[in-house]
Structure 1
Amino acid sequence: METVAQIFRSLEDETRLRIMALLLEQEELCVCDVMAVLQMPQSTVSRQLSLLKKAGWLKDRRVGVWIHYSVSRTLSPMHQYLLPVLRNFLAVTDAARLDRERLAERRKSCCP
């Protein structure tokens, strides 16, 4: 039962939901991209990403000094059940739309 509670607690924060919305549409994102899109400091973003990882939603990999996150490919049955619900409902929120636009602008200006 604790695992179920941890999964739901991981989704109770708007910042974590915004991160999930971004990662459900992107293969992978660097912490620096998430910081820029959410306009939040590295410590806040890293803490929220860590909570999502601990709850089983995300995996990470180090590239130099940065950590890149993606939705885990080995999700539990509970995660797999909730994933389409998150994808459908988060994608249509105003916050997710604005975050996608910020990410697109960031990619245009910094990444050829």
Structure 2
Amino acid sequence: MITPPEVFKSLADETRARATLLIASQGELCVCELMCALDDSQPKISRHLAQLRNSGLLLDRRQGQWVYYRLNPALPAWVGEMLHVTLRANADWLAHDCARLKTMDGRPVREATCC
């Protein structure tokens, strides 16, 4: 089980916090979508996503050439509630990231998953 210090330590970095909140708002995002939204490099985004996955906050799935990240559905309810409250209260903080994501050319198309 993930503890409060682990959650807050994982989210203490701005890139990880923004990525996590964007994923919470969209359901799942791939590395290229996060690169566009956060206007950052693939190595940096991938490194932060690996840290979030290793902490237990995110899960990933591969679909062809894409790797998609989503919140871990096994997270305690308080984590999901905290993320959604933070997301609603900080829409302005993420506005530029969301705008870049909405205008991204060539966004990957998701296939339905079986599970």
Q: Do they fold alike, i.e. is TM over 0.5? A: yes
Q: Which residue of 2 aligns with 1:105?
A: 103
Structure number having the greater helix percentage = 1
Q: Which residue of 1 aligns with 2:80?
A: 80
Q: Which residue of 2 aligns with 1:67?
A: 67
Find the aligned partners of 1:80 and 1:110 in 2 and give their Cα distance: 30
Which runs of no fewer than 5 residues in structure 1 stay unpaired?
A: none
Find the aligned partners of 1:49 and 1:37 in 2 and give their Cα distance: 14
Q: Where in structure 1 do 4 or more consecutive aligned residues deviate above 6 Å?
A: none
The 8 Å contact of residues 30 and 67 in structure 1, kept in 2 or not, is answered as: yes
| Count of matched residue positions in the alignment of Structure 1 and Structure 2 | 107
- 2:12 aligned with 1:16: no
Find the aligned partners of 1:78 and 1:25 in 2 and give their Cα distance: 17
Deviation for aligned residue 1:81: 4.3
Q: Which residue of 2 aligns with 1:56?
A: 56
Moved more, 9-18 or 54-63: 54-63
Q: What SS is found at the alignment partner of 1:10?
A: helix
Q: Which residue of 2 aligns with 1:36?
A: 36
Q: Which amino acid is 1:104 matched to?
A: K
Q: Which amino acid is 1:100 matched to?
A: C
- Summarize the Cα distance change of 1:32–1:7 in structure 2 as closer, same or farther, 3 Å threshold: same
Deviation string, structure 1 residues 50-70 (Cα, Å, up to 9, x no partner): 112222221110122321001
Find the aligned partners of 1:86 and 1:54 in 2 and give their Cα distance: 22
Q: Which amino acid is 1:11 matched to?
A: L
Q: What SS is found at the alignment partner of 1:60?
A: strand
Identity %: 36
Q: What SS is found at the alignment partner of 1:97?
A: helix
What TM-score comes out, normalization by structure 2 length? 0.79
The 8 Å contact of residues 23 and 29 in structure 1, kept in 2 or not, is answered as: yes
